[in-house]
Amino acid sequence: MHTSEPPVPRHGDAQSSADAATVGAPSDAPQAQERNGLLRALSPDAYAALRPHLEPVEITSGYVLWRPDQPIHGVYFPRTAVCSLLTPLADEAPVESATVGCEGMVGVPVVLDAPTTHTQALGQVAGAAARVDAARFRAWLPAADGALPLLLRYAQVLLEQTAQSVACNRKHEMSERCARWLLATHDRVGRDSFLLTHEFLAAMLGVRRATVTIAAGLLQQVGLIRYSRGRVTILDRERLEDASCECYRVVRTLHARLLGLSSQSA
């Protein structure tokens, strides 16, 4: 699952302006074309101060952004990439506790002034992100107009998402959980088709590969998705939402309430 290459720097990174995940910013604001919702929600002055330190990178699937209990050297704002936060277990494979895409950031411990975390962060779906050195981010945060309250609200959203994930993993059927996870990933990548192997999806859901094969097969049989050779295509978004458990809508509503993000989620 893990790769050894670092995120690849991107130069001249094109950013899409049309995405419901981003908070509305004035058309003349410096971040008006920003793809990441949190960066877009910053005040113009705060964004302008951070912008020189935003290094465009490509995150590959499986790349480890940080390891458990190791220093966090950078924070990441996904634009088209999707990342996972995993909780390690001594005698079992790690379990995903939260997913982060263009609505958020990977690096909340840095906001909370924690040098390490017991979680592991890695790339889930390959794509673009902006990276900021952790020390530079800490230096920027105290003077950034309105940034700390915004990022603390995002930390609350991530906490709520993690709590909802615990309940979901304990009580809901695998096909419902699979639908929820696919919907959330669909939101974040912003396209109907994306690469995702059975092995990776099984690891994210904390089950055996055979279990994922059965759950995805059921969704495919009724025409909600197409899943072939590691590529998922969403065929019927509305019915896939009906097939999902309540957790998808709960986390989506939390984002809207606490951050003003219109439709991205879980």
- Together in a domain, 53 and 117: yes
- How many folded domains does the chain comprise? 2
Which residues neighbour 149 within 8 Å (Cβ) at sequence distance 6 or greater? none
As beta bridge partners, residue 233 has 193, 226
Quick check: is 136 in a domain?
A: yes
What is the CATH classification number for the domain harbouring 252? 1.10.10.10
Alpha helices in 112-259 (DSSP H): 134-140, 147-171, 174-189, 198-205, 209-221, 237-243, 247-259
Taking each helix axis from N to C end, the angle separating 174-189 and 209-221, rounded to the nearest 10 degrees, works out to: 80
121 and 29 within one domain: yes
Q: Is 137 exposed, middle or buried (0-12, 13-18, 19+ CB in 10 A)?
A: buried
Residues 175, 250, single domain; the answer is yes
pLDDT of residue 26: 61
52 & 176 share domain: no
pLDDT at 33: 86
Per-residue confidence (pLDDT) for residue 25, from 0 to 100: 62
**Containing domain of residue 15, as a range?**
8-146
Looking at residue 264, what is its pLDDT? 42
Are 111 and 218 found together in one domain?
A: no
Q: Are residues 177 and 138 in the same domain?
A: no
Q: Is residue 152 part of a domain?
A: no
Do 13 and 118 share a domain, yes or no?
Answer: yes
The three-class DSSP label of residue 9 is strand
Q: Would residue 155 count as lying in a domain?
A: no
pLDDT score, position 259: 81
Per-position b or e across 181-214, b if 16+ CB within 10 A of its CB = bbbbbbbbbbeeebebbbebbbbbbbbeeebbee
Enumerate the β-bridge partners of residue 232: 194, 227
139 plus 13 within the same structural domain: yes
Cα–Cα distance for residue pair 227/112, rounded to 1 Å: 39
At 34 the pLDDT is 93
CATH number assigned to the domain comprising residue 118: 2.60.120.10
| pLDDT (tens place) for every residue of the chain, 266 residues total | 444 344 544 433 333 333 334 345 666 677 778 999 999 999 999 999 999 999 999 999 999 999 999 999 999 999 999 999 998 888 887 888 889 999 999 999 999 999 999 999 999 999 999 999 999 999 999 999 999 999 999 999 999 999 998 888 888 898 999 999 899 999 998 899 998 887 778 877 778 888 888 888 899 999 999 998 889 999 999 999 999 999 999 988 888 888 875 434 44
Confirm whether 160 is domain-assigned: no
Task: Assess whether 130 and 178 both reside in one domain.
Answer: no
- The answer to whether residue 44 is domain-embedded is yes
Of 114, 107, 86, give the one whose Cα is nearest residue 206. Answer: 86
Q: 199 in a domain, yes or no?
A: yes
User: How many helices (DSSP H) and strands (DSSP E) are in the chain?
Assistant: 10, 11
Q: Is 162 part of any domain? A: no
CB 118 within 8 A of CB 69: yes
- What is the reported pLDDT for 17? 30
Please check whether residue 44 is in contact with residue 31, taking contact to mean a CB–CB distance below 8 angstroms: yes
Element (H, E) at 231: strand 231-234
Q: Which of 146, 181, 209 is the last residue of a domain?
A: 146
Rounded-to-integer distance, Cα 163 and Cα 167, Å: 7
Q: Rounded to two decimals, what is the model's pTM?
A: 0.83
Contact 2, 62 (CB under 8 A): yes
pLDDT value for 27: 63
Which among 258, 260, 253 has a CA at the least distance from the CA of 37? 260
Whether 226 and 128 share a structural domain:
no
The 3-state DSSP class for residue 195 equals strand
- Indicate whether 23 and 132 sit together in one domain: yes
